[in-house]
Structure 1
């Protein structure tokens, strides 16, 4: 009986090890390609930097949030942003409010609908030397978008800004 139990434990241990080697750990693999950016812990509790509506193809509404490092830099006008600055852009479908539309004679209140994605920008001047000190990631439903071409477009767009902006589109809304 002991030999059977020992054999069973051995087989179970080997099978478990093989399974662990095959099944990816989402906590370590949920990073963006190119930059290796992940969703920061607690980002939903960060301070609001600004709100934006992007018309056109995206037609979304965005809440731009920042960690303490980037909020302090925005408030003090510090550029370039210091290492450790992190910006989170939460995008949602831009839609009129059915509840308010029922009360008012015409659609006039627009709200955040379903979430579309979260984009993260991380300042690390040593790690991201080729991209002005910034690394980028995009996440849908909490999962890192693995499209390298998509992530490579981030820096290309940000370089169109005036250099005094340190590659950041957002401004601080007091």
Structure 2
């Protein structure tokens, strides 16, 4: 086998490994069976959030086309097919960026911590306000049923007129 073909084979194998690590292999969260949707990184931004306290993370909240339309139109409850993704990263200061400013003030997204999805299907997830939840670390579903059960227990504390969604659309 030529060096070129060997290199191409190695690159292809790495691509397969990267796809498997991304969670696109069908790994589903417990209870709700939520999987990582293909192409979610191409979705549009709903908002950015910082959670202080124990998590101390920064989050990019993305939505599929159905979610974006519902946020823009103010449609509540969200229609079935809505998927909201939360990509969480360590919230950390940036000494490199701070060198440019007169005082330490720059914070950036550090290493990823987890990925969460809220999926609207009012029939399938009727017992949890129409929402199914999944949390993934390193592309793999978190197998902790107590963690996944706690999702709706937290969301249900919101005003029902918001359809149990924390995020607000930032146009």
Greater C-alpha radius of gyration: 1
TM-fit CA distance, 1:27? 2.2
> Mind listing any 5+ residue stretches in structure 1 that lack a counterpart?
1-25
| Structure 1 residue 124, shift from structure 2 partner | 0.3
* 1:114-141 CA-partner distances (Å, limit 9, x unpaired): 0000000000001001101000000011
Give the structure-1-normalised TM-score. Answer: 0.83
Alignment of 1:87-102 (within 5 A): 87-102=84-99
Choose from 30, 42, 45 the match for 1:45.
42
Aligned pairs, number: 148
Task: Say whether 1:169 aligns with 2:152.
Answer: no
Corresponding residue of 2:25: 27
SS at match of 1:103: coil
Aligned partners of 1:141 and 1:128: how far apart in 2?
A: 26
Q: 1:150 aligns with which of 147, 150, 171?
A: 147
* 1:116-127 equivalences in 2 (<5 Å): 116-127=113-124
Detail structure 1 runs of 4+ shifted over 2 Å in the superposition: 102-106
The secondary structure found in structure 1 opposite 2:132 is: strand
1: CA distance, partners of 2:95 / 2:87: 22
After superposition, the CA RMSD in angstroms is 1.0
